[in-house]
């Protein structure tokens, strides 16, 4: 049986980040990827944050296949055909070191795989890992679907994505539950670069994002998104699987609903759909994070439920967790200690970082929205009607108009319910 120091299962951002950090520490490292090459099986909305990526590949923006630096981020509340918007633009985000870029995963992940190979990582594509190998309670390798496909390792890092098959078999995670994952569907829609820059009021080469709530998901817990690429737009929408099942919606229903909104239709006009993708995103938050380690095993990225949906952060949590896992694996191997206690250093470092601190901060958010399904239906309607009444000049005195707005608010949401919602939001989000 061929043996390595570190085996990583999965060639996404988390797995490749783990491989790069382990190889840099002198470890004989291999990544096993079920796709033809890294990126072919990976899907995400398409925003890559600079700080986490720079720790894995310093100065990556000088050569990585990126789309546009994001200079503006908008939030839109949809209520019927009405839209209420807010946003922030910073021209400084268009200069190095940048804040974030839009990316297309296939070219970017393939590039990141090449960076891993430059550090000495071996990538084995088109290979499925079917189980872990054990010596007592310690994991000592993996079993693949290939003939004579057992590979030995001192540490195995699970970066298999949201479909946590191996983590479940290893007793680290529970099978996925419908309330803990979102179904997301996405289209890549081609548009000329000049058209994109004109419609989003951008300077040449700059990018913007829009998150859409409320009727973007027909009031279900979820979000729509629009990201600008060089010569295309990434349009997507996701909702909690449990709610899709309850309302009998398909992924295609989700995206067609979003595309039917007048505001969205205007941004997409004249575009041509080039790709259609659907996948699951872990949305369980802190309360669904699995056990992150055992003897000889670490769990990273989506497999560890490391997604901060409120701040649209997933890739940076994946890359940070992968980088830390690779470093801990190397340190444990050098120290000759592969016990669960040695692996626990990984969790300690995650808890000391923004990764688990942020997830802990929003640990009540999922339950709050789950228990208050009216939030994404009632409040977009209230805000839209209040804005319409406020900005309408029709001879009504402003004092009277303010009373009318308050009356409309309490008509849609009684005072006691409003107080409960404000307190619940404060507790869940602040």
Q: Do residues 14 and 299 lie in contact, with contact meaning Cβ atoms separated by under 8 Å?
A: no
Residue with tokens 């040695």, as numbered in its chain? 342
Name the nearest CA neighbour of 347 among 335, 336, 359.
359
pLDDT in 10s for each residue of the chain, 430 residues: 899 999 999 999 999 999 999 999 999 999 999 988 787 666 666 899 999 999 999 999 999 999 999 999 999 999 999 999 999 999 999 999 999 999 998 899 999 999 999 999 999 999 999 999 999 999 999 999 888 889 999 999 999 999 999 999 999 999 999 999 999 999 999 999 999 999 999 999 999 999 999 999 999 999 999 999 999 999 999 999 999 999 999 999 999 999 999 999 999 999 999 999 889 999 999 999 999 999 999 999 999 999 998 898 999 999 999 999 999 999 999 999 999 999 999 999 999 999 999 999 999 998 898 899 899 999 999 999 999 999 999 999 999 999 999 999 999 999 999 999 999 999 888 8
Contact 238, 183 (CB under 8 A): yes
At residue 144's C-alpha, the angle toward residues 142 and 148, to 5°, is: 100
CB-based contact 285:367 (threshold 8 Å): no
Tell me, what's the pLDDT at 191? 97
Between the CA atoms of 220, 49, 13 and 242, what dihedral angle is there, to the nearest 10 degrees? -10
- Please state, in angstroms and rounded to a whole number, the distance separating the CA atoms of residues 216 and 235: 12
Q: How many residues can be counted in the chain?
A: 430
pLDDT at 43: 61
Task: Work out the end-to-end distance of the chain between its first and last CA atoms, rounded to an integer number of angstroms.
Answer: 52
Cα dihedral across residues 30, 35, 36, 41: positive or negative: negative
Question: What pLDDT shows up at residue 37?
Answer: 78
> What pLDDT, in 10s, does the model give residues 152-180?
999 999 999 999 999 999 999 999 999 99
- C-alpha R_g of the chain: 23
Give me the pLDDT at residue 348, please: 98
**What is this structure's pTM?**
0.94
Q: What is the pLDDT of residues 378-418, one digit of tens each?
A: 999 999 999 999 999 999 999 999 999 999 999 999 999 99
237-259 in b/e form (b: 16+ CB < 10 A) is bbbbbbbbeeeebebebbbebbb
How many angstroms separate the CA atoms of 343 and 289, rounded?
16
Name the phi and psi angles at 167, rounded to 5: -65, -35
* Cα distance between residue 112 and residue 122, in whole Å: 13
Are 428 and 371 contacting, i.e. CB atoms less than 8 angstroms apart?
A: no
Give the integer Cα–Cα distance in Å for 221 and 242.
10
In contact, 113 and 13? CB cutoff 8 Å: no
Distances (CA, A) of 196 to 25, 192, 271, 379: 43, 6, 10, 31
Distance, in Å, from the CA atom of 34 to the CA atom of 11, rounded to the nearest integer, reads 8
């Amino acid at each position: 049986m061929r043996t390595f120091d570190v085996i990583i299962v999965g060639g996404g951002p988390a797995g490749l980040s783990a491989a790069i950090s382990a190889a840099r520490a002198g470890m004989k490292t291999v990544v096993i990827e079920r796709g033809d090459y890294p990126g072919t099986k990976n899907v995400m909305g398409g925003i890559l944050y600079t700080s986490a990526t720079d720790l894995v590949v310093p100065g990556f923006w000088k050569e990585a296949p990126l789309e546009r630096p994001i200079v503006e981020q908008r939030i839109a509340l949809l209520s019927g055909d009405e839209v209420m918007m807010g946003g922030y633009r910073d021209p400084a985000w268009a200069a190095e070191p940048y804040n974030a870029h839009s990316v297309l995963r296939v070219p970017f992940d393939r590039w990141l795989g090449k960076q891993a190979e430059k550090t000495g990582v071996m990538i084995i594509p088109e290979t499925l890992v079917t189980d872990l190998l054990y010596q007592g309670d310690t994991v000592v390798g993996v079993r693949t679907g290939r003939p004579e496909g057992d590979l030995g390792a001192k540490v195995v890092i699970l970066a298999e994505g949201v479909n946590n098959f191996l983590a479940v078999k290893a007793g680290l995670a529970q099978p996925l539950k419908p309330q803990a994952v979102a179904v997301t569907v996405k289209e890549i829609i081609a548009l000329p670069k000049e058209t994109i820059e004109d419609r989003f009021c951008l300077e040449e080469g700059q990018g913007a994002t829009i998150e859409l709530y409320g009727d973007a998901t027909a009031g279900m817990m979820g979000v729509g998104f629009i990201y600008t690429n060089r010569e295309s737009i990434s349009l997507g929408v996701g909702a909690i699987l449990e709610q899709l099942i309850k309302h009998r919606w398909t992924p295609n229903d989700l995206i067609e609903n979003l595309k039917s909104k007048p505001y969205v239709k205007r941004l997409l006009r004249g575009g041509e759909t080039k790709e259609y993708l659907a996948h699951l995103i872990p949305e369980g938050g802190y309360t669904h994070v699995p056990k992150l380690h055992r003897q000889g095993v670490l769990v990273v990225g989506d497999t560890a439920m490391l997604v901060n949906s409120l701040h649209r952060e997933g890739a940076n949590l994946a890359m940070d967790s992968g980088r830390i896992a690779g470093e801990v694996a190397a340190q444990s191997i050098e120290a000759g200690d592969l016990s669960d206690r040695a692996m626990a250093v990984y969790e300690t470092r995650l808890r000391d970082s923004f990764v688990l601190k942020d997830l802990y901060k929003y640990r009540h958010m999922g339950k709050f929205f789950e228990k208050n399904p009216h939030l994404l239906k009632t409040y977009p309607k209230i805000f839209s009607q209040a804005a319409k009444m406020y900005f309408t000049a029709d001879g009504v005195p402003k004092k009277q108009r303010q009373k009318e707005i308050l009356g409309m608010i309490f008509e849609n949401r009684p005072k006691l319910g409003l107080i409960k919602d404000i307190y619940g939001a404060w507790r869940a989000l602040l």
